[in-house]
Amino acid sequence: MPDTVFDSPPPHFSVDEVAHLAGRYFGISGPARSLRSERDQNVQVGDYVVKVSNSAETRAVLDLQHAALAHLALADPGLAIPRIAEPGVVEHDGHFLRALTYLPGAPYATVDHSPALRHQLGRFMGRMSRGLQGFGHPAAHKPDFLWNLDNAAEVAPWVADISDADDRAVVERAFHRHRRRVVPSLPLLRGAIVHHDANDYNVLVDDVLVDASATGPTISGLIDFGDMLFARQVNELAVTLAYALLDATDIIAAGRDVISGYAAECALTDHELRVVYDLAATRLAMSIAISSHRQREFPDNEYLTISQAPALRLLRRLMGMRPEFLHFAAREAAGLQPVPQHDRIVEWLTSPDCQPASVLPIDLRRAGRVVISLADGAPATQFADPVESWEWMQAQMDAAGAQVVVGRYDEDRSCYQGEQFHTDAPEPRSVHTGIDLFIAENTTVHAMLPGIVESVVDNDLAYDYGPTVVLRHTTCSAGAEGTPFWVLYGHLARATLAHIHVGDTVAAGDVVGFIGDHTVNGGWAPHVHVQIMTDLMADPDTGFDGNFEGAGEPSRMNIWRSVVPDANLLIRLAPETFEDHSADQPSVLQARREADLGPSLSTSYRNHLSIVRGQGAWLFDHEGRGYLDCVNNVAHVGHAHPHVVAAIARQAAVLNTNTRYLHRTILDYAERLAATFPSPLSVVYFTNSGSEANELALRIARTVTARHDIVALDWGYHGNTNDLVEVSAYKFKRAGGAGKPPHTHLAELPDPYRGSHGDDGATYAQSVATAIAAAVARNGSGPAAFIAESISGCGGQVVFPAGYLAAAYQHARAAGALCIADEVQVGFGRVGTAMWAFEEHGVVPDIVTLGKPIGNGHPLGAVVTTPALAAQFANGMEWFNTFGGNPVSCAAGMAVLDVIDHEDLLARAVDTGGYLLARFQELAMRHAAIGDVRGRGMYLGLDLVTDRSTKQPATHLAADVANRLREHGVLVSTDGPYDNVIKIKPPIVFNRDDADILCCELDDALAELSPAATE
């Protein structure tokens, strides 16, 4: 080291002499007193400090200080820094003299440090940095300056002068951390002229009234610009931190105060934030090393050692923390996402590229779940004994029909009692950073994503993880470089340790371990703790040791949440799982429903469902349990399809009115819909429901033919109005029905399985001719119309035999009746091969009625007919329907047609429907209870029988199957004259995976409920 001001003693004029010189050179007078200085001589004279520089000080350095102060006075006039008295630097007796204004206040070191004061300190130094941007001076380049943080390497050897071995080791670690983390990034750190010595004696605090509303200590100034130099700009903040954190109760909180203040005035770069705490530690280490070195030179100066005690204490605490955690803390303080790669990882985790497998060998989407709290005083915390705790959980699961107990992410818990939960923070680590899934010991635990085993260790402290596996994954999709992240599976069984090894490659779904029992898992009820880590925060020297916090300090959760984001990003329990939906509980709603809506409205399943959300082919109940919807053909293109939702929202925000005005949307939609029909069907009437559509169809037929009687198919259902109930055998023949009215004539349901003529369509059609004859006999002219669904739904998913509809239509037309095809259930491509199910029969109806899927749940219906019939219908009586075909309904209908096209859903119906049919047929080979499998596309039925030879309907079994499936998260319904047909008519976005779930559950249900009939 060259000869510096540190090596030459400070000047020693008397106070009177300096006072005299002040008057002589600067015209300053007033009471004089000596002020503290390490290397100059400072004397306060009146409102000024007269500084007599160390004889080794160069003129250039003083010029630097003066230029900097002048620059700052211009750049930030409000900044409390000294002003220079004219004429600036003078020379006297080999010393340089100058006078600066005296700044009032006590040293920062001598006052209490509130968060607000620390924040002010940060702001003050941020203003300094901002003010000095753009300032340059040749004398600022002091590469050999002892205290220059960039020169840590020069001072590091003095560590040897630290007498205490422990102290020496801590300081050595700090220098090592500097070499490891700071040195490589030095070229990336911005350079600037910095004050470089905002120590707690150079920062002044004044207890003045700040403004009318706030009193209290405030930063009143910064003095001693003697260390100014060109260095890394972030050193300014690092030096400030090194002193501001001395003896702070909570380093992270205190650091946040300072850094947030600094960053509010002067933005920090990613690189600076990464090393700012390392640099603060380096400053402390340098200070201790320099001090110890001087101590050796001046062994009598005890002050040097004593003054280092707080620095050593702080350094020890900083070195006890993971450097990456400090990095993330600095970022959090600066208002950034603590872990830089967090957002990238979460974006991938929520992207379609990320398709995690289930962590447990159960389908967690559908599994019943009990969410427990382990917060202080919660019922689950009453058991100290893990065995009792598990028994209690099992009782909870039995009561709720659940398969798993879920412990929450980000929950403050009282159960973490071990030493390992106590950190440098004032409070222990008590907030859970994973999700717990409690399930029987030895249950397999599965990798959710493909990855590589990072660690397999046994963290065998009490309350710890026990055997733990960490997998490394990346955000890459097929070969591309990605960002790594990790998933930890804790509390496993010892068998795990032999099952899986570091470096193993695992595929999604592979078994990575087994649930441990309380003797090995840290003393807990059996469960797996799953957590995602965006950074391992590993020690760069030793690497990751397999241990990672599973709980964070409450006050540091902003940082922890970024390091350990919610494991549910991968586990994917529906959000309702964690929400309070007590007001949606079935028992609560059922009681209200009976009172409010009347008892005629039935509710599906023995255990009623409270459904709060739908998505695609899935419905979710108030507890977040998912149900595969195999029956809701209304949500044709999938529940809550975003395209349809957006179309409805867009139009609703602009206009919804009745249909008395010209509006292009209704015409666009009518034309697009009509274009899907064969000629001459081209005129559309819009309604609000299938019932309204059928009601209008009857009105058209009756108006046009001037007849009233209707021929309908047995077991048909056409709607809920009086007229429609009278043509719906499914209603008038069953409970509460008034029987067949005289003007309705029923034709036999052409059921190839149960009907009297097998699959002889022409013979069944004879029954239509017979019904027509009955109408003629009754009224002399015949029926107005023959109405039939294109596949009979309520009749039990009955597909008509070939030739039936053509022959039936022939009979009807020959009698002057119109043919109405009710496509309310089966239209819009459900059969897959065609848009309309009647097309499969080679017929063209006179009137077609539409409903259910047409608006994907939005109330809409339509009647499509020919221009000729439309003209005849216009007999003077107006057709008016307030809501039918309003702009919002038409936007919904148009969007449904868009999705059918864009997602090629007819092809989907063919593919999944064909797959399902084949799997059902395969089930029928094994389950004798399946008497018949039938249907087209995604409109299928399983006719359950007690005896295949007699075809005795298995009505109870069908109900039991539907209810059991519901308990297992699969929704089907029963129908048909005997309610023995399992009806399958899901949203047509249903895919093969969904089909597999349905078939597995059906298989199990039949095996369990009808074992004797299983062949």
Ligand X SMILES: Cc1ncc(COP(=O)(O)O)c(C=O)c1O
Contacts of 642 (CB under 8 A, 6+ apart): none
Q: With respect to ligand X, which residue has the nearer C-beta, 825 or 980?
A: 825
Q: CB of residue 982 vs ligand X: minimum separation in angstroms? A: 17
Question: Which C-beta is closer to ligand X: that of 793 or that of 953?
Answer: 793
DSSP 123-187: HHHHHHHHHHTT---GGG--TT-TT-GGGHHHHGGGGGG--SHHHHHHHHHHHHHIIIIIGGGGG
> Of these, 562, 689, 744, 797, which contacts ligand X (CB under 6 A)?
689
- Cβ of residue 511: shortest distance to ligand X, in angstroms? 46
Are 505 and 467 in contact by the 8 Å Cβ rule? The answer is no
CB neighbourhood size of 169 (10 A): 14
For ligand X, which is the closer residue by CB, 228 or 724? 724
For ligand X, how many residues bind (rule: CB under 6 A)? 15
Shortest Å, Cβ 986 to ligand X? 16
Closer Cβ to ligand X, 311 or 634, answer by number: 634
Contact status: 691 vs ligand X (CB under 6 A): yes
Please provide residue 39's backbone torsions phi and psi, each rounded to the nearest 5 degrees. -135, -10
Residue whose CB is less far from ligand X, 217 or 719: 719
Looking at the Cβ atoms of 719 and 977, the one nearer to ligand X is 719
Map tokens 């309520």 to a residue: 794
Residue number, 521 or 694, with CB nearest to ligand X: 694
Angle at 902 between CA 896 and CA 907, to 5 degrees: 95
Beta carbon nearer to ligand X, 516 or 851:
851
How many angstroms separate the CA atoms of 798 and 803, rounded? 15
CB of 603 to ligand X, least distance (A): 16
Per CB under 6 A, does 793 bind ligand X? yes
Q: Name residues whose C-beta falls within 8 Å of residue 590's C-beta, 6 or more positions apart in sequence.
A: 603, 608
Specify whether the CB–CB gap between 377 and 370 falls below 8 A: no
CA-wise closest residue to 434 among 459, 461, 413, 417: 413
Do 115 and 253 touch, CB atoms closer than 8 A?
Answer: yes
Instruction: Name which of 274 and 731 has its Cβ closer to ligand X.
Output: 731
**Both structure tokens of 136:** 């340059």
Q: Is the CB of 485 or the CB of 717 nearer to ligand X? A: 717
Q: From the CB of 969, what's the least distance to ligand X, in Å?
A: 25
Alpha carbon distance 410, 412 (integer Å): 7
List binders of ligand X among 839-878 (CB under 6 A).
Answer: 851-852
Shortest Å distance, C-beta 766 to ligand X? 24
Q: Is the dihedral of CA 587, 589, 592, 594 positive or negative?
A: negative
DSSP letters spanning 699-752:
HHHHHHH----EEEETT----SSHHHHTT-HHHHTSTT-----TTEEEEPP--T
Q: Does 356 bind ligand X (CB under 6 A)?
A: no
| 738/569 Cα distance (integer angstroms) | 56
Closest distance of CB 923 from ligand X, Å = 26
Cβ-based nearer residue to ligand X, 468 or 825: 825
Q: Any idea what the Cα angle at residue 321 is, between residues 319 and 322, rounded to 5°?
A: 110
Least distance CB 965 / ligand X (angstroms): 21
Distance in Å, CB of 761 to ligand X, minimum: 20
Select from 9-17, 580-588, 603-611, 683-691 the region that touches ligand X (CB under 6 A): 683-691
Question: Cβ of residue 954: shortest distance to ligand X, in angstroms?
Answer: 23
Nearer to ligand X, 423 or 825 (CB): 825
Q: Find the part of the chain contacting ligand X (CB under 6 A) among 345-353, 713-721, 986-994, 1002-1010.
A: 713-721
Draw the binding track, 806-845, toward ligand X (x: CB under 6 A; -: no contact).
----------------x-xx--------------------
- Residue 451 as a binder of ligand X (CB under 6 A): the answer is no
| Cα–Cα distance measured from residue 812 to residue 792, given in angstroms and rounded to the nearest whole number | 19
How many whole angstroms separate alpha carbon 682 and alpha carbon 767?
30
Report the residue number, 85 or 693, with the smaller CB distance to ligand X.
693
Which window, 47-55, 264-272, 687-695, 919-927, contacts ligand X (CB under 6 A)? 687-695
Residues 627-656: x where in contact with ligand X by CB under 6 A, - otherwise, as a string? ------------------------------
Pairing of strands 95-101, 618-621: unpaired
Q: Which of 217, 451, 522, 719 binds ligand X (CB under 6 A)?
A: 719
Which helix (H) or strand (E) is 458 found in, with range? strand 451-459
- Is 946 one of the binding residues for ligand X (CB under 6 A)? no
Closer by beta carbon to ligand X, 644 or else 697:
697
- Structural tokens at position 478: 């097929």
With respect to ligand X, which residue has the nearer C-beta, 824 or 970? 824
Q: Is 687 in the site for ligand X (CB under 6 A)?
A: no
CA angle, corner 556, sides to 318 and 244, nearest 5? 45
Q: Is 960 one of the binding residues for ligand X (CB under 6 A)? A: no
- Amino acid identity for residue 716 in this structure: G
- Residue 666, Cβ density class (10 Å: 0-12 exposed, 13-18 middle, ≥19 buried): buried
Nearer to ligand X (CB atom), residue 718 or residue 908: 718
Cβ atoms 229, 140 nearer than 8 A: yes
Residue with tokens 């052409």: 750
Asked if 717 interacts with ligand X (CB under 6 A), we say yes
Please tell me whether residue 690 binds ligand X under the rule CB under 6 A.
yes
Q: CB 721 → ligand X: shortest distance, Å? A: 8
* Distance in Å, CB of 759 to ligand X, minimum: 22
Q: Which of 783, 751, 753 is nearest to 770 (CA)?
A: 783
- In this chain, which stretch among 213-221, 523-531, 684-692, 985-993 interacts with ligand X, using CB under 6 A? 684-692
Among 119, 369, 556, 718, interactor with ligand X by CB under 6 A: 718
Closest CA to 327 of 390, 279, 364: 279
Chosen residue from 555, 603, 676, 720 binding ligand X by CB under 6 A: 720
Residue 790 CB, shortest distance to ligand X, in Å, is 9
Residue 743 identity: H
d(CA 646, CA 662): 23
Q: Which two tokens stand for residue 604?
A: 């599906």
State both tokens at 634.
């209304």
Which CB sits closer to ligand X, 496 or 694?
A: 694
User: By rule CB under 6 A, what string of x and - marks binding of each residue 239-258 to ligand X?
Assistant: --------------------
Query: Which residue among 694, 865, 946, 1010 contacts ligand X (CB under 6 A)?
Result: 694
- Nearer residue to ligand X within complex by CB, 659 or 689: 689
H or E stretch covering 506? strand 505-506
Whether residue 235 contacts residue 280, with contact meaning beta carbons closer than 8 Å, is answered with no
Least CB distance to ligand X at residue 975 (A): 10
Let me know if 461 is exposed, middle or buried by CB neighbors in 10 A (0-12, 13-18, 19+): middle
Q: Please report how close the Cβ of residue 908 comes to ligand X at its closest, in angstroms.
A: 22
Q: Which parts of 771-790 interact with ligand X (CB under 6 A)?
A: 789
Closest chain position to ligand X (CB): 690
Q: State the maximum Cα–Cα separation within the chain, in Å, rounded to a whole number.
A: 139
User: And the tokens for 389?
Assistant: 């705790």
Query: Does 685 help bind ligand X (rule: CB under 6 A)?
Result: no
**Residues found near ligand X in the complex (CB under 6 A):** 689-691, 694, 717-720, 789, 793, 822, 824-825, 851-852
